[in-house]
Structure 1
Amino acid sequence: MRAALMTISNTADVSSRFARSTTRRGVGLSTLDLLEAEAIHIIREVVAEFERPVLLFSGGKDSVVVLHLATKAFFPGRVPFPVLHVDTGHNFPEVLAFRDETVARLGIRLEVARVQDYIDDGRLNERADGTRNPLQTQPLLDAIAAGRHDAVFGGARRDEDKARAKERIISLRDEFGQWDPRNQRPELWALYNGRHTPGQHVRAFPISNWTELDVWRYIEREAIALPPLYYAHEREVYARDGMWRATGEFSPIRAGETLERRVVRYRTVGDMSCTGAVESDAADVAAVVAEVARSTVTERGATRADDRLSEAAMEDRKKDGYF
């Protein structure tokens, strides 16, 4: 794969330089054009340099955008790597259905690591708070090792969380899958260092420089399909920790909480036990773009209870090998 894609990689480098030069000459490329070109360049570079890449794909908007970029990077051929989902067992059914429909349509192999399997055989224990997001780390690392994946694409963006803002686009993980924020490599002039020793791997973040608004504008421009949860719909919810939580098997209502029917949408679609909705009447992508443009809080800050466990919740999980 590496040798076959060297020409593609070189072409991407030429294209990247051309994009910068045409902008300087005043020909002009939009922000989305430049972000897309950068992301495609990163994806091609990783596939050219690494032997067994894989894409973390949950069916959430960011991983959907990265997969869309990968299809453009290798068109008219198929995406030359599988996708991997770490299934908590508490995922939204609508998102799982969308995940399966997407990989079937694109003809991509889906690898699934299930948290439930680890709970069933005693390798992991349920948390007292009921959330399974922090339990994803070990299944993820085991799946990477089992697939001998040396590069793992992710949809993380720097604007989501201050821990993710510390990440490089190509981020090294040690033999234990751990991340050291003090051991970050320089990435000057879009030069990415993928050097690693046996047992190590890298995480690659093609949309690291994008914002939530960039993602939604790109979804609008490219007419990218998403799970319906991202758009306004009526649902039974209850208020907890400043969020609207959906009632269900994995997020039962507590004493003193009141069940209501409200029109909501989800800005992110993680584990049902820790992901909240926001009140919204944004029923289509144009309305979501306008809503996000007005927002002053990132989607994780607004709707993810697991990131509120401590001031450094995300960074602590990342050091252990989390996304």
Structure 2
Amino acid sequence: MSNTGQLRLTEDVDLISATTINGLLYGIALSLFFLCVQSLYPQLKAPHLQRQAIFILGYTSAVMICGFVYLALFTQITQLAYIDHNTSPGELHGYEQLLYGQPIGVVLSVFNTMVDALTLGTQLWCLWVVYHATQYEIIIMVLPVLLYLVGVDLQLLLLQYPNLVSQIYSFLGSQVFIGVMNIAFQLAFTLLVTLLVIGRLLLIHRHHIKLMGATNISKLYMSIVTMFIESYALESAWVLASLISYIMGGIASLDFFSNCNVAIEMIAYFLVIYRVSTGRAQSKDARQQVTRSLEFNYSTGYTTQTSVLGTAT
């Protein structure tokens, strides 16, 4: 395929993914957000759950607001490139990349960083809850925390020095390079945290089976494992596809996956919150116990020995 044909293909894929596909995914995220609000609202009336419900509602709303602003700015950049300045077919994608260095692109990157920090921060907190009060707590948390900080700092570096990376990797462009680096760290972080959480729960499940045999609580652990796998499998697969697209040199496919990455992060986050708040990650009899163990800061009456995610072996 000629260079012009490749550019046109890249522009077509970029436009479709930035508008139609992104809009569809954000519609799914918005629906999940309203479901989360609906499921958390009754907890506001329960005195022992009120504080944690307010916290999760506020946190979830912050994720949704940041995602909405990101979508609005991203749509504006697409409009500027493909509608307002649609005078040079085959060069629109390059013009769009230039907009990321302008104020609108900087603000876009700020909200992208905020969504990443909020959604990945939730995974980090879940990991801490699982390993809290164990002898391996500090050791386990070191690498995930470093990956989290590096991933966020990569985006902050671009905000402070927008031309730094492009001077070193001018043939790639700052946004492409920093985006790929962020994808790599995000994938490593999500996979590592998910595997550590699942591994811990499986060990607890095995220990429980040896001591007490198969019970509702042992089934509870497997339900939580299933929840984590189902919720973060889509995000991990999407980020991995982005990374493979870059390695294979497919700019069009890289744009497709990268354009929708924020929406996928939000969907994975809302799935976890919704499943926990509705008790769908566990059996009906253990619903309240799992909800308390995943609400992130609950401390009225449950110790780490009785909390599902904080159980110490």
Interval of TM-score (by shorter of Structure 1 and Structure 2): under 0.3
Q: Which has the larger radius of gyration?
A: 2
Question: What TM-score do the two structures reach when normalised by structure 2?
Answer: 0.27
TM-score normalised to the size of structure 1?
Answer: 0.27
Which structure dedicates a bigger proportion of its chain to strand? 1
Higher helix share: 2
* Bigger relative contact order (CA 8 A; separation at least 6): 2
